[in-house]
Structure 1
Amino acid sequence: MEAKVFDSNLFKRILKYTKPYKARFYGVIAFAVFLSIFAALRPYLLKQTVDEYIEPKDKYGLLVYAIWMGIVLILEVFSQFYFVYWANWLGQDIIKDIRVKLFKHMLTFRMKYYDNAPVGQLVTRSVSDIEQIARIFSQGLFMIISDLLKMVVILGFMFYMNWRLTWVVILAMPILVYATRKFQQKMQVAFEEVRTQVANMNTFVQERVTGMKIVQLFNREEIEYEKFKAINDKHKTAWIKTILYNSIFFPIADIISSLTLGAVVIYGGFHILDGDKFTTFGDMFSYTMFISMLFNPLRQIADKFNEMQMGMIAANRVFDIIDKDSDVQSNGNKIAPHFEGNIHFENVRFSYIKEEEVLKGINLEVKSGETIAIVGSTGAGKSTIINLLNRFYEIDSGKITIDNYDIQEFELESLRKQIAIVLQDVFLFADTIFNNITLNNPEISREEVITAAKKIGIHKFIMTLPNGYDYNVKERGVMLSSGQRQLIAFLRAYVSNPSILILDEATSSIDSYSEELIQKATEKITQGRTSIVIAHRLATIINADKIIVMDKGKIVEMGSHNELLLKSNGYYKNLYEAQFAVES
Structure 2
Amino acid sequence: MGEFFMKQFFFDLKNVIWLAKEYFKNAKDLLIMQIIIAIIIIPISSVASIVFPQKIIDLILNGTNIQYIISCALIIELIILFPDVATVLVDLLIYDKKKCLIDYKIKNKIYIHSLSCDYKHFDDPDFFNKYVWTLTNYTQKSDEARNYIVSFLMHISNLVAIITLISLTGPLILAIVMLNVIIRYFINLKLNKIDMSFENENVFPNRKLDYINNLFYEKKYAIDLRCSNLKSYLFKELEAVQEIKQKIIKKYNRTWIVWILLGQLFTSLSYVLVVIYIAYIILNGQIKDATMYITILTAEIHLQKELDELFKFFSLSNALSLSAEKIKEFFSVKSSIENNNSYEDLHIKQKIKLEFKNVVFSYNNKQNVLNNVSFSVDYGEKIAFVGDNGSGKSTIIKLLLRLYDVDSGNIFINGIDIRKYNIKELRKKILCVFQDMNIYAMTIYDYLNLNNYNKINTENIYSTDEINSFMKENGFKYTDSLTKEFNEDGIVPSGGQTQKMILLRIFVNNHPLLILDEPTSALDPIAEHDIISYLNKVENATVIMVSHRLSTVKKMDKIYVVKDGKIVESGNHLELIERNGYYKKMIEAQELII
- Per the alignment, residue 528 of structure 1 pairs with 540
**Partner residue in 1 for 2:107:** 99
2:117 maps to 1:112: no
Q: Which residue of 1 aligns with 2:555?
A: 543
- Counterpart check, 1:191 vs 2:195: yes
The answer to whether residue 45 in structure 2 is matched with residue 33 in structure 1 is: no
CA distances 1:302-360 after superposition (whole Å, capped 9, x unpaired) = 43444444433332222111101146523322233524111122222222121522222
1:173-322 → structure 2 map (5 Å cutoff) = 173-197=177-201, 199-211=203-215, 213=221, 217-218=229-230, 219-233=232-246, 244=257, 248=261, 255=268, 259=272, 262-263=275-276, 266-267=279-280, 269-270=282-283, 278-322=287-331
C-alpha deviation, 1:372, in angstroms:
0.8
2:243 maps to a residue whose letter is A
CA distance in 1, matches of 2:375, 2:471: 37
Tell me the amino acid that sits aligned with residue 352 of structure 1. Y
Q: Which residue of 1 aligns with 2:482?
A: 472
C-alpha distance after superposition, 1:111-153 (max 9, x if no partner): 1111224757633321234422321222x23322321221222
Q: CA 1:434–1:248 in structure 2 vs 1: closer, same or farther (change >3 Å)?
A: farther
1:220-252 CA distance string (max 9 Å, x none): 133222123224435755886798589647865
Equivalent residue pairs, number:
567
- The 5 A counterparts of 1:139-538 are 140-160=148-168, 163=169, 166-197=170-201, 199-211=203-215, 213=221, 217-218=229-230, 219-233=232-246, 244=257, 248=261, 255=268, 259=272, 262-263=275-276, 266-267=279-280, 269-270=282-283, 278-326=287-335, 329=338, 330-336=340-346, 338-439=349-450, 443=455, 448-452=460-464, 454-455=466-467, 457-463=469-475, 469-474=479-484, 479-524=492-537, 526-538=538-550
Taking a change above 3 Å as real, the CA distance of residues 374 and 456 of structure 1, as seen in their structure-2 partners, is farther
Shift of 1:269: 4.8
In structure 2, how many angstroms separate the alpha carbons of the residues matched to 1:301 and 1:444? 59
Contact map agreement 1:187 1:245 (CA 8 A) in 2: no
Matched, 1:572 2:578: no
Distance 1:314 1:478, change over 3 A: farther
- The 1-side partners of 2:363 and 2:61 are apart by 86
1:122 equivalent to 2:131? Answer yes
Aligned to 1:73: 80
| Equivalent position amino acid for 1:31 in 2 | I
Q: Closer, same or farther in 2 for the Cα pair 1:135/1:177, shift >3 Å?
A: same
SS at 1:363 equivalent? strand
- Runs (4+) of structure 1 exceeding 6 A deviation are 82-92
Secondary structure, counterpart of 1:220 in structure 2: helix
> What are the ranges of 5 or more consecutive residues in structure 1 without an aligned counterpart?
none
Task: Tell me how large the CA RMSD over aligned residues is.
Answer: 3.7
Contact kept in structure 1, 2:431 and 2:451, CA below 8 Å? no
Structure 1 position 549, deviation (Å):
1.5
CA contact (8 A) 1:339 1:402 kept: no
1:14 aligns with 2:19: yes
For 1:300, give the aligned amino acid: E
Partners of 1:422 and 1:506 within 8 A in 2: yes
Which of 541, 560, 571 lines up with 1:559 in the alignment?
571
1:453, distance to aligned residue in structure 2 (A): 6.8
Give identity over the alignment, percent.
Answer: 24
Matched residue SS, 1:398? strand
Letter in 1 for 2:210: Q
CA contact (8 A) 1:335 1:415 kept: yes
Change (3 A) 1:150 1:347: same
> Is 2:457–2:509's contact at 8 Å kept on the other side of the alignment?
no
TM-score, normalisation: structure 1: 0.85
Match of 1:47 among 39, 51, 54: 54
Q: Distance in 1 between matches of 2:144 and 2:20?
A: 13
Q: Distance in 2 between matches of 1:369 and 1:438?
A: 23
User: Offset at 1:75?
Assistant: 4.2
How far 1:14 moved relative to its partner? 3.4
Structure 1 counterpart of 2:382, one-letter code:
T
Which amino acid in the other structure matches residue 14 of structure 1? L
Report Cα offsets for 1:52-102 as digits up to 9, x if no partner.
x22222227645643541353244435655787878877766665443322
So what's the TM-score if we normalise by structure 2?
Answer: 0.83
Worse overlay, 540-549 or 207-216: 207-216
Equivalents in 1 of 2:115, 2:237: separation in Å?
A: 32
Q: What is the DSSP-based 3-state SS (H/G/I as helix, E as strand, rest coil) of the residue aligned with 2:368? A: coil
Instruction: Out of 401-410 and 213-222, give the one that drifted further.
Output: 213-222
- Secondary structure, counterpart of 1:556 in structure 2: strand
Q: Deviations over 1:475-518 (max 9, x none)?
A: 7x993332233223222454342111111110112223322322
Moved more, 487-496 or 418-427: 487-496
Which amino acid is the alignment partner of residue 331 of structure 2?
I
Shift of 1:186: 3.1
For residues 312 and 439 of structure 2, the distance between their equivalents in structure 1, rounded to whole angstroms, comes to 45
Compared CA separation, residues 159 and 306, structure 1 to 2 (3 A): closer
SS in 2 for 1:393: coil
Q: Indicate how the Cα distance of structure 1 residues 473 and 414 shifts in structure 2: closer, same or farther if over 3 A, else same.
A: same
Q: 1:492 to 1:202 in 2, by over 3 A?
A: farther
8 A Cα contact 2:345 2:421, kept in partner? yes
Q: Secondary structure at the match of 1:532?
A: strand
Equivalent-residue separation in structure 2 for 1:333 and 1:446 (angstroms): 27
Residue of structure 1 aligned with 2:142, choices 124, 133, 137: 133
